[in-house]
Structure 1
């Protein structure tokens, strides 16, 4: 039951494999039909040519028989008068004796339709057979007389074989003796020709059937190979996808741990120290007040208040790094401006930010991605670049939006000296690729060292004006 249900509900990979095999099935069917049609057409032409050759051979044989027969009584007929009964009797005896094979004989009819010679079927003799037709309704004797009056001719009809009593198709050749008004002829049965033609057609059909079987076998093998290769590729891609998923999951865990470590360091090295200082200042103030030294308590109290304000500022900064509220409230431009301002104030590096009001606004995913890329780039500059100036430029264009971050630091190390792309650069790349964008990193070392990070997003991440917030807002 589960197997039947699985067949009724194939997976996406199975559907894809079946879809891949459909053109092969159609191609195999088309090839089989075309080959069958061409084979039948070609063979039919050859069979018809063979049939005509065999019939022509039969006709030549019949004409030769009749010619020999006429030569046998030409000396009698040539000297006899039209009413010479003795000559006619001699000719009928000569023709009655001319039998050949199992069924070959000569026949004679006068122009009235009366049979005069029929050695193998004597019941026909001296009877009038005008209007006689075969089993298919084809006139026989009347056509003999008509051909004889015209001089000579061929006639095909169905006749009973003397040797077996069964009907078979016959070809007869008839000539006329105009002085005596006789139709003399002989015929041969062509059932052997028809049997040869039928056997040839049967052989052709058998060859076509074998061709269908061969093509079907080849198509089936191809289908199995395509399906097997598809399943192999599917399993391989699934393994790769699982490996990438595990790697991505590990990266997420690493990023989380790194972020937690960073927040922990910020809290321990900054806020924790400030709060400890506030505590000591308050304890000092309390001790001075308990001794009645009000004037001496003012200085530590003021120092503790300053430290508390610094701690509050640090908490705001950490909160802003985790999720800047200005990004949601005012947009990407003000958020980046605040980020660069804090960076300049914290590091003392000259920082310049420029942007223009976008004609179309960025969607939320794009704003977050560009903000995190800028945040990661500034962090790398602070830690590694030893730069004295940083510029960030954000603007829209006909193809989308581009953010360009430039510093005059010492640049990235050569590829051979790197153990691999850092997690920061890798995160930038993955963020931009998720949005179908591109990330370019250009770096140089030496007298004109520096690094340029350029992140571009397509038009699909730009929203129409007025769809989100006010149009005058920065992106």
Structure 2
């Protein structure tokens, strides 16, 4: 992510967080308000229903009291009471019911098929025994019972609240109930209206947030884009100069080791070998001559090892082939030094017309390949390594592929300190406007480094002597 994007994101984040918190708080408050409103509406509705039920039962008692208070207990007077209760209906779902103390239905104005049946063990939709509950309530002097019962107008079970009262002399109790499923419809309608209000408020908050974000984005771009581009360009130039300085210093040290220290070691080695040859030619047989020959031979061997080490250091600092024969030859030499005597099979392919690349580009690609091959040698345990350079009209692509154990690329992206080599490769390519992609799983790891043709052309113009052989 570019620095410009980070700055804009830093400005947007507080606004997004603030508006999100406002939206969450607003939705939370409206949910609380909805619950309170539902509780108040339901409470008021149920209180009105209970008050109405008490009124109906009181009205029924006043109707049957003249008959009940006569003191008669014969069937005729009881039948008159039943008929009066059956006639006291109100609406399609308002009626009275009558039971004895054993739970046998004596009168039901809407469901005559229940008359004569003992309904104490009848379960409602809630799994409870409503007749038993009402019978217990009547024995306690009367009261309210919440239950579920068949609703005649809808031909389905619905929530209902009933008020029952006893007729103790006859061992009867009667009551009436109101269906309260209408309150659910009212609450559902309130929920819909409140949800619509919440959605409208949320849309307003979202609109204000988007407008604020766009304003911040536009102002941020207008104020900072030019300066950030200049800073980015200066940083990129500084990185290139730093890499160029490092490579120049490497080249200098390589030349000094090769031409200075290396030549000195060669001279000393030749002198020691000459002295050893003369000492052997003298054919001296005493112990001191034998010891001198042995010491000189050890000196020659160590000088030979030191010379090989110095040449290796010189090549690692800056391979001469990279400047003389180009990138493919330098890569082949590096691979030969790594795996020339091992069982690992190495293949180098070059597709397309090979171009003499600018100094900066071939140096970066050489260092990226050097790091990749070093990682393969240390960690991959691969038996086959393939290296391919594709020169195409679109640019240059470097492919490094092995059949090793692989690694978790996401882990190294989350923990940059654990993958310094990968980060350095990305930074080197980014410094020349190239890209790096890596995919890995057990049995195959593929590294792709791409440098567009336009970048190669631009660096060629910046390095007019790049195509000249030193």
TM-score normalised by L of structure 2 = 0.48
Larger radius of gyration: 1
TM-score normalised by L of structure 1 = 0.47
